[in-house]
């Protein structure tokens, strides 16, 4: 588990992390733990979730977990209630659970694919935001919540990405409304929008008929010439969740090494 150069910004705070068994979720949990947080981890991958909790405990941290498919109606409330029983409150939440969408051109996209992506990326975000905010309000916690959007919600458009882009764009709108609603309680809500991150979701397999760039081609199109890493996202989530971002709410932050600065006019010839 990495140590943090920022000290113990989350000492005596409870961090609730969904999608904790994934690459970004794990990096975020490790970052919070390195800065002193007590962790409550949620994911549907029981084996990976258990292993992560055990790793954090072995390193001297506090970590509880809850296995759940957050697309289910009551799962988010059940997870938050379990966190309440374990720690008595939630101080910060990183809502990372989601999926990469099957890529199909819009007129060939099965309705079932659309429904699955919207349910996993948007409905789940609504349910977890709703449950986490209710817990913070009930406990009088002026907490911080960070949602997971994507550069695809802004300017980074890929063919075949209608469901994913739509779901992540809606997350931005949901985040802004949540921030406005929660401000009167001192609760901050912000979003991160990663570009290409070197994870199984960030680097999908090739799909016939669609443009699928290799890691090398992707790197060539990024101004800073490197793919993002999960810890890059985790570091910014930790910043937004911390008191250093006390005057920041309702915002979205690109983490893309300048990827969305690229256009047809200045794109490199390679790739």
**Who's near 215: CB < 8 A, 6+ residues apart?**
198, 203, 227
**Who's near 248: CB < 8 A, 6+ residues apart?**
188, 190, 240
Return the H-helix or E-strand segment holding 189: strand 188-194
Check: CB of residue 259 under 8 Å from CB of residue 223: yes
Q: CB-based burial of residue 112 (10 Å sphere; 0-12 exposed, 13-18 middle, 19+ buried)?
A: exposed
What is the CB neighbour count within 10 angstroms for residue 67?
16
Phi, psi (rounded to 5 degrees) for 15: -110, 125
Helix, strand, coil percentages for the chain (3-state, nearest 5): 45, 15, 40
Set 6, 65, 87, 164: catalytic member? 164
d(CA 146, CA 251): 10
| DSSP-assigned letter for residue 89 | -
Tokens of 108: 């060939």
Determine whether 164 is an active site residue.
yes
> Which residues carry out catalysis?
164
């Amino acid at each position: 588990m990495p140590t943090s150069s920022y000290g113990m910004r989350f000492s005596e705070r409870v961090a609730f992390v969904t999608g904790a068994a994934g690459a970004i979720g794990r990096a975020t949990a490790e970052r919070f733990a390195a800065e002193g947080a007590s962790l409550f981890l949620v994911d549907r991958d029981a084996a990976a979730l258990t292993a992560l909790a055990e790793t954090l405990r072995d390193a001297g941290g506090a970590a509880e977990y809850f296995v759940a498919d957050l697309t289910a109606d009551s799962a988010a409330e059940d997870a938050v209630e379990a966190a309440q029983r374990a720690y008595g409150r939630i101080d910060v939440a990183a809502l990372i659970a989601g999926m990469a969408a099957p890529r199909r051109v819009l007129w060939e996209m099965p309705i079932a694919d659309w429904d699955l992506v919207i349910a996993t990326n948007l409905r789940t975000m609504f349910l977890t935001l709703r449950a986490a905010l209710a817990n913070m309000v009930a406990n009088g916690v002026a907490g911080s919540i960070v949602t997971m959007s994507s550069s695809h919600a802004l300017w980074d458009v890929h063919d075949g990405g209608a469901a994913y882009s739509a779901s992540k764009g809606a997350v931005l709108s949901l985040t802004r409304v949540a921030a406005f609603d929660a401000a009167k309680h001192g609760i901050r809500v912000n979003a991160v929008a990663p570009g290409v991150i070197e994870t199984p979701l960030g680097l999908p397999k090739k799909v016939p008929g669609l443009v699928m760039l290799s890691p090398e081609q992707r790197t060539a199109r990024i101004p800073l010439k490197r793919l993002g890493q999960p810890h890059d996202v985790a570091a910014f989530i930790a910043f937004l969740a911390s008191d250093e971002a006390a005057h920041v709410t309702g915002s979205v932050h690109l983490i893309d090494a300048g990827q969305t600065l690229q256009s047809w006019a200045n794109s490199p010839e390679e790739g």
